[in-house]
Amino acid sequence: MAAKKDSETQSRRDFLNLTVGAMGAVGVGSGLVPLIDTMNPAADTLAMATTEVDLSGIEVGQTRVVKWQGKPVFIKRRTEEEIAQAIADDEADLRDPQKDSDRTQKPEWLIVVGVCTHLGCIPQGSKGGQPKGDYEGWFCPCHGSHYDTSGRLRAGPAPKNLPVPPYEFLSDTVVKIG
């Protein structure tokens, strides 16, 4: 009789241990799922991951400024002279050397993030009447960095060229940035 009581007590104890263990696992799992879910990007961030831009309204020599991931992006339709100057400057003594062909997919279109690599100011030169600096590209008014027609650093305290975002041409008149 005592053996039956011990085995009954043992099976109840096993059942309670399994039940408590299962409930604990469910509790930990239900606490971890929302925690891990908070690490996913927010919907507004995902919405800004890419942007499509219609290029058909940009005239030769004009620059359009669009926002991508909260930063300005300069889309410049370069003139033949600007393209020729950028290619000629490939051999210049550059702090951050890059060929113009490495920075553009189509020579006519230059697409760069419009944030100075020194302290994050927005360079001028995208609108008519703004100073373009000594190299006819962009000029950062905060600390005097000068960029050429390919967005390469030519003078000033900035350490690098204006960055080229990932982009692809969806057609002759539409580009997807991001």
Active site residues: 143
DSSP designation for 135: T
Q: Reduce the DSSP state of residue 64 to 3 states and report it.
A: strand
Residue found under tokens 């009447």 = 129
Burial of 35 (0-12, 13-18, 19+ CB in 10 A): exposed
**Contact present, 110 and 74 (Cβ < 8 Å):** yes
DSSP designation for 90: G
Q: Reduce the DSSP state of residue 146 to 3 states and report it.
A: strand
